[in-house]
Each structure stands twice: as structure tokens, then as C-alpha cells.
């Protein structure tokens, strides 16, 4: 056999083995098929954040909301069709999740840079989340790749599977455990709230009905922005430094300065396991920088489609024809 034929033969065998044994995600998945994929994503994420620093937060959250609904499969990116109402208008996402346009821009750039449709939308979202974290001061980590894209999405699953800011600790933990994640993962991943903003709608009840669990100076600073009624969309930062990845989020929780009810649930001052974890990260910021990436990799590995499951979408908003 000629060399080229041997290579083709080996590649076919490798692909067959990978799909037979359930392919694993790998960091170098695109190193042969699109060597410039990762640098391209990084560049475009950087540009998007320069244009609007909040976009980094939005891209991190996009990955979370993708992964928590039937795994990290790009399902959140699908637009509604005549036959399917997707995840975009589900309660936790509607008017709230952002960054779809940035993913579109990256996808179309990659279709050019890779000379074809190579990089899955689910992988783009995972890499964009990591690049956002790094651009805003977090520690880098290797993103595992090789996810394939879903061909369906479900509004009901999005409504059921994403935790709400009105949950108490047991419900938050039950939700994370239903995704194979632990209390430790809950506390570290909630550190995602070191970035970004929430609308008044989601913290109004805490602001006016939980005054006993809220730092008075902090509460006073929020009142103006989030009145008892109206201004549902008014934004407040989730921690003191909403465009920097740091442990201020945990320090805020220890001072009764959590914006969301669900965040304050992680630190209630009674000395429980969650309290201890919050205290640990608040007092050892370097540990948060160290552990956040590992927790993101774990979240990013939730039931991916691999091998010949799903597809690589040409356009992240629609299933291939
Ligand atoms: C533990 C359960 C969680 C709950 C209940 C929750 C809830 C929320 C809510 C209500 C908002 C504000 C949305 C809006 O105002 O429209 C928000 C924003 C955000 N969440 Fe979470 N979240 C959780 C976990 C996470 C995780 C695990 C991450 C990432 C690792 C994350 C990352 C973010 C980011 C970055 C924002 C700001 C987005 C922006 O400014 O565009 N959240 N979250
Ligand atoms: C989504 O938000 C838009 C704009 O606020 C609103 O008009 C629409 O009714 C919402 N859809 C659902 C399903 O809640
Ligand atoms: C405070 O709680 C009461 C009773 O549950 C509720 O009716 C009211 O709407 C809440 N206030 C705000 C501002 O959310």
C-alpha cells in the first residue's frame, strides 16, 4: 500500500475504534483538522470583550446553561422552528442569556479558517467560556474538545434543569447532584458570579424581604436601582468587581452582600459545609483561581455527544439540512 492509502486506512480504523468505545473528549481534538481554531476563538472573544466587557460574563453563563440542559451539546443555540420550541425562551434564558451573536461570528470565521465545517458549536461555547475567564483575569485551563451538536432542544428541559435564584441550599444541591456535581462543585462553580450582572427581577424579593440576611449599606445602595415594583430589567453587579475573575464573590457572601438569594444560601453563617467552603475560597483567593478551571472542565464534560452522535452544525442556530 502507498503511504497515503495507509494513512487513510489508519484514520478510518481510529475513527471506528473511537466511536465503538465511546469517544472521549481531548484537548488536542482539532490540532490536525483545524490547527488555528483555538487562536481564532481567543482573538474573537477578546475583541467581543473589548467592545463590551460584560460579554465575558455572558459567554461563561451561556456555557453553563448549555451544559445543564441535556449536556454540553449546543442545544441552547438552536432557534425555534415550526416543529420545535427551543431553550432560548425558557424562563431562565429569555431576555437574559446573551452572546448568541458572538458565537455566530466565531462559527462563521471558523468555517473559513478551517476550510469547512469542522468545529462544533458546543465546543466553541466551551472554549469561549474559558477564553472569557482568562481575558478577565482568571487562570487558564485546557478545554476538552470533541463535543458534537444536538439536533433538538427542549424548552421544558431548560425550564426544569437550570437552577433558579429563588432556591434554598437543599434544592440547589439536589439540582447540582442531578447533574453529577457535588456541593464542592456547587460552591466553586457559583464563583462564576464573580462576573456579570443580574436584573432587579431576580433579587427584588431578597432586597425587600430578607433584610435580616443583607448587609444594610449594601442593601441601601441597591434600593435606588431596584424599587419594590417596576424596573425589572435594571442591572446590579453580582459581586464588587463584575469584570474581574477573583474571590471577591466569596468575601461578599461572608459579609451578607450576595445579590441573589441562591448565592447567600451558600453562606448562612451557621458553620455548615457550604459555609466552610465559602470561607476557604474567600480566605484563599489563589485556591479559587486554581480550582475554578477544574470545575469548569467537569461541568464542560456533562453528557457530551461524541463519535457519530449528533452532528457538527454549519450554522449554530439551525440543524443541518
Ligand atoms: C448555582 C445556581 C445558579 C443560579 C441560581 C444562577 C442564577 C443566575 C441569575 C438569576 C443571573 C442573572 C440573570 C439575569 O438577570 O437575567 C445569573 C447571572 C450569571 N450567572 Fe448564574 N446562576 C447559578 C450558577 C451559575 C454558574 C454555575 C455559572 C458559571 C460557572 C454562572 C454564571 C453566571 C454569570 C457569569 C452571570 C452574569 C451574566 C451576564 O452578566 O450576562 N451562574 N445567574
Ligand atoms: C420572552 O421575552 C419577550 C421580551 O421580553 C416577551 O415578549 C416574551 O413573551 C417572552 N417569552 C416567553 C415565552 O416568556
Ligand atoms: C415580600 O414577600 C411578600 C410575601 O411573600 C410578597 O407578597 C411581596 O411581593 C414580597 N416583596 C417583594 C418586593 O418582592
Q: pLDDT grade, residue 6 (50/70/90)?
A: low
Do 131 and 202 sit in the same domain of this protein?
no
Give the 3-state secondary structure of residue 243.
Answer: strand
Mean pLDDT over all residues of the chain? 94
Taking the C-alpha atoms of residue 59 and residue 70, their distance in angstroms, rounded to an integer, is 18
Q: What pLDDT digit, counting tens, does each position of 111-158 carry?
A: 999 999 999 999 999 999 999 999 999 999 999 999 999 999 999 999
pLDDT greater than 50 at residue 76: yes
Q: pLDDT grade, residue 22 (50/70/90)?
A: very low
What's the gap in Å between 209 CA and the centre of ligand 3?
Answer: 6
Which one of 119, 134, 162 terminates a domain?
162
**Has residue 250 been placed in a domain?**
yes
Q: Is the CB of 208 under 6 A from ligand 3?
A: yes
Do 202 and 144 sit in the same domain of this protein?
no
**Has residue 309 been placed in a domain?**
no
**Has residue 224 been placed in a domain?**
yes
Q: What pLDDT digit, counting tens, does each position of 162-206 carry?
A: 999 999 999 999 999 999 999 999 999 999 999 999 999 999 999
Do 50 and 127 sit in the same domain of this protein?
yes
Task: Supply the DSSP string of 31-91, one letter for each residue.
Answer: TTT-TTHHHHHHHHHHHHHHH-THHHHHHHHHHHHHHTTTSSSSGGGPPP-SS---STTST
Do 251 and 285 sit in the same domain of this protein?
yes
Do 120 and 190 sit in the same domain of this protein?
no
Do 146 and 193 sit in the same domain of this protein?
no
Residue 128: per-residue pLDDT: 99
Number of the ligand closest to the Cα of 204: 3
What's the gap in Å between 302 CA and the centre of ligand 1?
Answer: 18
Domain at 70, CATH number: 1.10.520.10
What is the domain count for the chain? 2
Per DSSP, the chain holds a count of helices (H) and strands (E) of: 14, 2
- The parent domain of residue 185 ranges over 169-298
Q: What percent of the chain has pLDDT over 70?
A: 93
**Has residue 83 been placed in a domain?**
yes
**Has residue 19 been placed in a domain?**
no
* Choice from 204, 205, 211 to test ligand 3 binding pocket (greatest atom count within 8 A of CB): 205
Which one of 162, 189, 215 terminates a domain?
162
Q: What share of the chain is helix, strand, coil (3-state, %, to 5)?
A: 50, 5, 45
Q: Which residue has the higher pLDDT, 17 or 28?
A: 28
Residue 20: per-residue pLDDT: 43
Do 153 and 179 sit in the same domain of this protein?
no
Residue 21: per-residue pLDDT: 46
Q: What angle do CA 98, 100, 104 make, to 5 degrees?
A: 155
Q: What pLDDT digit, counting tens, does each position of 306-321 carry?
A: 999 999 999 999 999 9
* Model confidence, pTM: 0.94
Number of the ligand closest to the Cα of 102: 1
Q: Is the CB of 230 under 6 A from ligand 3?
A: no
Catalytic residues: 65
Do 67 and 118 sit in the same domain of this protein?
yes
> Which residues fall within 8 angstroms of residue 316, CB to CB, at 6 or more apart?
74, 77, 78, 100, 103, 104, 107, 121, 124, 149
pLDDT (mean) for 76-104: 98
pLDDT (mean) for 286-306: 97
Do 188 and 214 sit in the same domain of this protein?
yes
pLDDT (mean) for 52-68: 98
Domain at 237, CATH number: 1.10.420.10
Q: What percent of the chain has pLDDT over 90?
A: 92
What's the gap in Å between 4 CA and the centre of ligand 1?
Answer: 50
Do 189 and 253 sit in the same domain of this protein?
yes
Which one of 130, 162, 194 terminates a domain?
162
Residue 2: per-residue pLDDT: 59
Do 177 and 238 sit in the same domain of this protein?
yes
**Has residue 232 been placed in a domain?**
yes
What's the gap in Å between 88 CA and the centre of ligand 2?
Answer: 10
Residue 23: per-residue pLDDT: 61
pLDDT greater than 70 at residue 12: no
Number of the ligand closest to the Cα of 228: 3
Ligand 2, closest atom to CA 91?
Answer: 14
Do 113 and 156 sit in the same domain of this protein?
yes
**Has residue 7 been placed in a domain?**
no
pLDDT (mean) for 284-297: 98
**Has residue 10 been placed in a domain?**
no
Amino acid at each position: 500500500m502507498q503511504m497515503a492509502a495507509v494513512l487513510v486506512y489508519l484514520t478510518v480504523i481510529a475513527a471506528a475504534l473511537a466511536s465503538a468505545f465511546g469517544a472521549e473528549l481531548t484537548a488536542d481534538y482539532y490540532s490536525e483538522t483545524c490547527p488555528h481554531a483555538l487562536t481564532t476563538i481567543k482573538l474573537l472573544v477578546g475583541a467581543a470583550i473589548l467592545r463590551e466587557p460584560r460579554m465575558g460574563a455572558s459567554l461563561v453563563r451561556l456555557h453553563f446553561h448549555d451544559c445543564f440542559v441535556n449536556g454540553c451539546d449546543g442545544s441552547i443555540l438552536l432557534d425555534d422552528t415550526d416543529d420545535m420550541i427551543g431553550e432560548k425562551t425558557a424562563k431562565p434564558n429569555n431576555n437574559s442569556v446573551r452572546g448568541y451573536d458572538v458565537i455566530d461570528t466565531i462559527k462563521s470565521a471558523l468555517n473559513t479558517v478551517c476550510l469547512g465545517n469542522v468545529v462544533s458549536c458546543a465546543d466553541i461555547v466551551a472554549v469561549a467560556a474559558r477564553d472569557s475567564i482568562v481575558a478577565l483575569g482568571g487562570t487558564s485551563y485546557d478545554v476538552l474538545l470533541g463535543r458534537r451538536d444536538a439536533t433538538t432542544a427542549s424548552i421544558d428541559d431548560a425550564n426544569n434543569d437550570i437552577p433558579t435564584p429563588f432556591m434554598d441550599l437543599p434544592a440547589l444541591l439536589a439540582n447540582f447532584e442531578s447533574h453529577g456535581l457535588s456541593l464542592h462543585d456547587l460552591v466553586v462553580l457559583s464563583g462564576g458570579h464573580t462576573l456579570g450582572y443580574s436584573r432587579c427581577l431576580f433579587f427584588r424579593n431578597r432586597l425587600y424581604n430578607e433584610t435580616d440576611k443583607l448587609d444594610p449599606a449594601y442593601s441601601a445602595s441597591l434600593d435606588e436601582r431596584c424599587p419594590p415594583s417596576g424596573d425589572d430589567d435594571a442591572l446590579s453587579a453580582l459581586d464588587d468587581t463584575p469584570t474581574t475573575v477573583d474571590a471577591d464573590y466569596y468575601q461578599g457572601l461572608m459579609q451578607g452582600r450576595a445579590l441573589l438569594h441562591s448565592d447567600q444560601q451558600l453562606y448562612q453563617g451557621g458553620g455548615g459545609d457550604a459555609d466552610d467552603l465559602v470561607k476557604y475560597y474567600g480566605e484563599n483567593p489563589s485556591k479559587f483561581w486554581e480550582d475554578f478551571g477544574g470545575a469548569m472542565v467537569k461541568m464542560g464534560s456533562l453528557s457530551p455527544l461524541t463519535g457519530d452522535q449528533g452532528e457538527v452544525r454549519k450554522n449554530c442556530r439551525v440543524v443541518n439540512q
